[in-house]
Structure 1
Amino acid sequence: MTALLAGLALGLALIVPIGAQNVFVFGQGVSLGMPRALWAVAGAGLCDTLLIVLGATGASALLDSVPGLRPAMLAAGALFLTYLGVKSLRAKPAEIADETGSWSPARTLRRTAAVSLLNPHAVLDTVGVLGAAIAAQAAASRAVFATGAVAASWVWFLLLAGAATGLRGFMTKERRVWFDRASGAILLVFAAWLAYEFVVVLK
């Protein structure tokens, strides 16, 4: 039980702070509501589960040993977040009204996976930090600790999507536009951060 709670606490500490993945899942809850937003929850949870398992099996050492992998991840993440940010900043009420009509589970899963796996900070934190923490546990406790970390991701994303769904009644199309633009600005800040780190890594 101690190992499970420790994994849960560390997982929440890494995932709760605002980031591109949280912004996206929350936005899906506002845009689509339940149960459609559960596809975003599932996508984000599965991606985090995959990264935690990779960290537990020693993939963090691979991230440090492959030349050029970190700069490539930073560049890809910066470009993708810039695309999402600009798209959100250009949101219009008419486009928001039609969003549910273009919805599909596969599209939501693809977008969630892209936000989750093209964010190098999320990858490095999940694989590196959690991987090191899992490795530091006693052999008998590692699986339980990892289970707690995985549970943290699923519980948090479910709560996030649920809270966003609760706000749908308040979010008129006009308010949604400003919410989307604020989300876009946040994503562009993260994109700029990744681009800065890319430049620093190349020096």
Structure 2
Amino acid sequence: MIEAIIHGVILAFGLILPLGVQNVFVFNQGAIQPTFLRAVPVVITAAVCDTLLILLAVLGVSLFILTFAWLKTVLFGIGFFFLVYMGWVIWRSEPLKVNEAEATSFSPKKQILFAASVSLFNPHAILDTIGVIGTNSLGYSGEEKWVFTLATIIVSWIWFMGLALAGRSLGKLDSGGGLMKRINRFSALVIWGVAVYMLTKI
């Protein structure tokens, strides 16, 4: 039982730590929103999407997705266009200054849409989360399999909450918005880079 928990925690951190579109977007929203509560939609959406992918992986859907080449092509194609659009919006967005309590570039609806797109139409999310976690879960059965699954899910929720909080702390320090503008541009470049990567896989 303990082995399954440790395995799940280490595996989840290994997959979620690298800088990717999903992490960049959650951090970015934590930083530009006027309060942490305004960034909660992106945190919950990213965590719920990861939870869904993990559950699908453990239930064996990964074998179905990875078997049919046309399904991967469709998912990558949709993801490409989502990421190109999202990168453009982030590139053009003006960072929210501390004294601007109202308007923000990303409404809750936009946060949810973008977070879902980078989570569900991201090749790393599909191949890593579903492929890697799904494959590793085959080493467990019964209660141990669900303990392993729960450990990976908990790590995901804690990580996204921490990312948004870290972004929020940085946002407070950057009262003029200059640093966040550079981070926005960097975020857009990372997102476009992943979009190009997707295009090569179609």
The TM-score with structure 2 as length reference comes to 0.88
5 Å-filtered alignment, 1:33-182, equals 33-92=35-94, 100-101=103-104, 104-171=107-174, 172-182=176-186
SS in 2 for 1:37: helix
Report the residue type matching 1:166 in the other structure.
S
Aligned partners of 1:48 and 1:153 also within 8 Å: yes
Aligned partners of 1:134 and 1:145 also within 8 Å: yes
Please list every run of at least 4 consecutive aligned residues from structure 1 whose deviation after the TM superposition is greater than 4 angstroms: 93-99, 101-104
Aligned partners of 1:93 and 1:173 also within 8 Å: yes
How far did 1:139 drift?
3.1
Deviations 1:36-68 (A, max 9, x none): 212211111100000000001100111023340
Equivalenced residue count is: 198
Report the residue type matching 2:59 in the other structure.
T
Report the residue type matching 1:150 in the other structure.
I
The 1:90–1:191 alpha-carbon spacing in structure 2 relative to 1, beyond 3 Å, is same
Output the CA distance in 2 between the equivalents of 1:146 and 1:93.
Answer: 37
- Structure 1 equivalent of residue 23 of structure 2: 22
The TM-score with structure 1 as length reference comes to 0.88
Give 5+ residue unaligned stretches, structure 2. none
Output the CA distance in 1 between the equivalents of 2:167 and 2:139.
Answer: 36
How far did 1:193 drift?
1.2
Aligned partners of 1:30 and 1:165 also within 8 Å: yes
Aligned partners of 2:41 and 2:111 also within 8 Å: yes
Please tell me the root mean square deviation across aligned C-alpha atoms, in Å: 2.3
Output the CA distance in 2 between the equivalents of 1:161 and 1:94.
Answer: 15
- Structure 2 equivalent of residue 188 of structure 1: 192
Give 5+ residue unaligned stretches, structure 1. 199-203
Deviations 1:102-131 (A, max 9, x none): 654344222211221121221221111101
Aligned partners of 2:94 and 2:105 also within 8 Å: no
Aligned partners of 1:89 and 1:180 also within 8 Å: yes
- Structure 1 equivalent of residue 3 of structure 2: 2
